[in-house]
Amino acid sequence: MVRRVEAVVIIGGGTAGWLTAGVIAARHQARINAGRFSVTLVESPDIRIIGVGEGTWPTMRSSLETMGVSETELFRECDAAFKQGGKFARWTTGAEDDAYYHPLMVPQGFSHVNLVPHWLREGQGRSFCDFVTPQGRLCDEGLAPKTITHAEYRGSANYAYHLDAGKFAPFLARHCTAKLGVRHVLADVVSVTQSESGDIRSVLTRQAGEIPGDLFIDCSGFAALLIGKTLGVGFKECGDTLFCDTALAVQVPFETPDAPMASQTIASAQEAGWIWDICLPTRRGIGYVYLSRHAGEEAARDTLLRYIGPRHKDLPVRKIPIRSGHREIFWKNNCVAMGLAQGFLEPLESSAIVLVEISAKLLAEQMPACREVMDIVARRFNEVTMYRWGRIIDFLKLHYVLTRRTDTAFWRDNVDPATIPERLRDLLMLWKYQSPWFFDELDRLEEVFPAASYQYVLYGMGFRTEVAPEDTADTAPVASRMVGENERMTAELCRWLPKNRELLAKIHAYGLQAV
């Protein structure tokens, strides 16, 4: 008899648990309504969610829209704001004016023409970002990516969100239980029962007894209750490539309630790591991510205090240890890991939540019909997810290897070739002669960071790709049209987009038009 997969049980109610529940339940609504499929989320009433992770990626818009979440409610209930990219300060030389953008819009005409060689030959004086997209200017001017007349999830510029992580998971929980039929059980998992094959049969909880399932999803955070503790899947350390092992996080109030709001995550390089700075409408979330071997806790606290200013010296600072790495596999037997249970590298570029979204989507789309085919789906999932972890590691490390800072051991050690993954070393060699571009990805399903992201970081940090005059001759007419189009669009958007805070106030007051 075929063993159908009908009962999905998720352990953990943080961002990973609820996003996964929502993505799966939305995709399988008809089966849920027909009583042939269920999604149950079990969450400890006492173990707190991690409560950081406030920068997202534009994929969040389609994830939430697919789940039927109202964007207006997201802004109102999660203290959400727009995110239009990252601004990296003092990563290249360490000088005061050293900064570049990694915006969320791809370069103008990205699928038709590669503007990198044109910028390298003709664009000097302007940053690569300004040469190819309006978004750096929009960030500089503090402008929103849309207006109040845009419908939910639509905009003039690509965007993601900054949001209050402590409010986001409960917000998703309310939506998933009320609208998508997800069953919510508040209980502590105390043990796990397994069949002879190693498959998980059920979890035993302190408050709600035994909860059986066909497929278990481990979203239990760093505890990795099922994938690690129960199934014994090993952890691959990545600390020799991505060094940061500690974060100090603090929430800082604005001077005045109408203070201007940045819509870019600001990442400022420091002696032994970097500081994130995320603006929400009511406060800033700030944190220093660093290598504790190079900065003791006291020195790290001093660095953070210097950044936030002495008047904030009494704000509570939370210390979060980071073990950079990921599981050796992500799906074993009938258990899939998501979120921190899958692994974590560091907060740079908000790569964690986006990986949850695309992993949940992959799982929802490929949901095995029965146990008999599960191992085939699991193999595919493991292969794709391992590729994605590898690419994220390459991309994060790219920010460190392009530095020309030599002022501290942290930055000097980061450029040691022995710490650079082999694929990234090859790519750096390749990019000396040909830049990354759209066509690199045609054979790939969904890259976490597309070639455009690599372009922004490489050329933002002063990397040089060799270009001969004849290399740009064939595409010169289309390139000059795109550059002109970008200039026109930049001027136009700067004229009519509202300021971030102004638009957020309007959304709170009137709401956006639902799609």
Ligand X SMILES: Cc1cc2nc3c(=O)[nH]c(=O)nc-3n(C[C@H](O)[C@H](O)[C@H](O)COP(=O)(O)OP(=O)(O)OC[C@H]3O[C@@H](n4cnc5c(N)ncnc54)[C@H](O)[C@@H]3O)c2cc1C
Catalytic residues: 83
Mapping DSSP to helix (H, G, I), strand (E, B) and coil, where does residue 166 land? helix
Distance of alpha carbon 251 from the chain centroid: 20
Which lies closer to ligand X via its Cβ, residue 11 or residue 362?
11
Which lies closer to ligand X via its Cβ, residue 351 or residue 435?
351
Which lies closer to ligand X via its Cβ, residue 24 or residue 479?
24
Closest approach, Cβ 16 to ligand X, in A, equals 3
Task: Tell me the CB-side half-sphere exposure of residue 24, using CA atoms within 13 A.
Answer: 32
Residues recorded for the chain: 515
Please name the residues in contact with 296: beta carbons below 8 A apart, sequence gap of 6 or more.
Answer: none
Instruction: Give, for 493, the enclosing helix (H) or strand (E).
Output: helix 476-496
Which pair of tokens denotes residue 173? Answer: 């929980």
Phi-psi region of 26 (alpha: psi -120 to 50; beta: other; left: phi over 0): alpha
**Positive or negative CA dihedral for 109, 113, 117, 118?**
negative
Locus of tokens 């979204």: 357
Closest approach, Cβ 437 to ligand X, in A, equals 26
Closest approach, Cβ 357 to ligand X, in A, equals 9
Which lies closer to ligand X via its Cβ, residue 44 or residue 490?
44
Which lies closer to ligand X via its Cβ, residue 144 or residue 354?
354
Rounded CA separation 71/513 (Å): 9
Asked if 500 contacts 82 with a C-beta cutoff of 8 angstroms, the reply is: yes
Which lies closer to ligand X via its Cβ, residue 115 or residue 165?
165
CA distances (Å), origin 318, targets 51, 251, 302, 448: 11, 10, 14, 29
Q: What is the distance between the terminal CA atoms of the chain, rounded to a whole angstrom?
A: 44
Across the beta sheet with 85-89, the strand order is: 99-103, 85-89, 265-270, 273-279, 283-290, 246-253, 318-321
Which lies closer to ligand X via its Cβ, residue 150 or residue 201?
201
Asked if 211 contacts 229 with a C-beta cutoff of 8 angstroms, the reply is: no
Closest approach, Cβ 318 to ligand X, in A, equals 9
Distance of alpha carbon 239 from the chain centroid: 19
Which pair of tokens denotes residue 147? Answer: 């207006």
Nearest to 450 by CA among 461, 463, 437, 459: 437
Closest approach, Cβ 144 to ligand X, in A, equals 20
Which lies closer to ligand X via its Cβ, residue 120 or residue 337?
337
Q: Which residues bind ligand X (CB under 6 A)?
A: 11-17, 42-44, 47, 49-50, 52-55, 165, 188-189, 219-221, 223, 225, 247, 249, 287, 320, 322, 339-341, 344, 347, 350, 352-353
CA distances (Å), origin 100, targets 90, 136, 357, 476: 9, 9, 27, 26
